[in-house]
Amino acid sequence: MSGNRIEQRMAALKATGRKALIPYIVAGDPSPNVTVPAMHAMVEAGADIIELGMPFSDPFADGPVNQRGAERAIAGGMTLRGVLDAVSEFRQNDQQTPIVLMGYLNPVIAMGEVAFCDACQASGVDGLLIVDMPPEEEDSLVRAAKIRNLDLIYLAAPTTTDARLATIGQSTSGYLYYVSLKGITGSSKLDTANVKERIEHIRQHVSVPICVGFGIRTAEDAAVISSTADGSIVGTVLVSQIEALVNDTAKIPEALQSIIKPMRVAMDAIA
């Protein structure tokens, strides 16, 4: 089963006045056997959609914390096929929670775009966010994804022009990922007033939900962002928590819950 889970989840949230909480972790960090229990724990804590990082050796949009997460995953033996296997295992007990694979184009091309999309569909992936693939590029991947009903999620930044927003808005499905600040993941301080103003402007150019990532670390951050956006994407603070527990991995699922649960509570309080 694949496709439309993201749209259905976002519509269901909107109908009840709630916003999406979207955690991000790197698949296989710090070892492959941690990923699926962590995913289930995050859903139990209130995650609506999970972004699962496909580890890559040169993740240039990621800050040091997420880069180290990718390095640990690769060192632990995680591969792109392993990421898809993790999604398949997750789907054995959860057919509802949308899964978005986030990463870079090189591993996808190495596997083959059509083979990759076939595997995504078979494993239960719902969407793809390929950081270094603009809407105009990689036609074969775009075609293969659309045929298999995989959402293609694109990024917009504070520097994105209106003309570019129009192009991205026409290509994005599922949701638009708005990068709340200039720079890499985990950098800078979140300027919530600026983000609110920017989202209101972006809504003039796109019809899909807008979810915000980069810089969301606390329950307060998540709540403030979700008062304007359709969802809050949380990554670096979770990967940092995983890093702190690399020698005690059994504690990782509960530790992730301790971050996500307060965010869920704070976001629901403003609904």
Q: Which of 16-25, 86-95, 216-225 has the lowest mean pLDDT?
A: 216-225
Of the two residues 133 and 86, the one the predictor is more confident about is 86
Closest by Cα among 81, 78, 92 to 39: 92
Predicted pLDDT at 138: 65
Q: Are 27 and 52 in contact (CB under 8 A)?
A: yes
What class is the 5-152+220-261 domain?
Answer: alpha beta
DSSP category for residue 150: -
Predicted pLDDT at 104: 94
How far is residue 25 from each of residues 50, 55, 158, 256, measured CA to CA in Å?
Answer: 8, 10, 24, 10
Positions marked catalytic? 51, 62
Predicted pLDDT at 223: 94
Predicted pLDDT at 186: 46
34's tokens: 């941690």
pTM of the predicted model, to two decimals?
Answer: 0.94
155 has pLDDT over 60: yes
What are the residue ranges spanned by the domains of the chain? 5-152+220-261
Confidence of residue 192 (pLDDT cuts 50, 70, 90): confident
Mean pLDDT of 126-150: 91
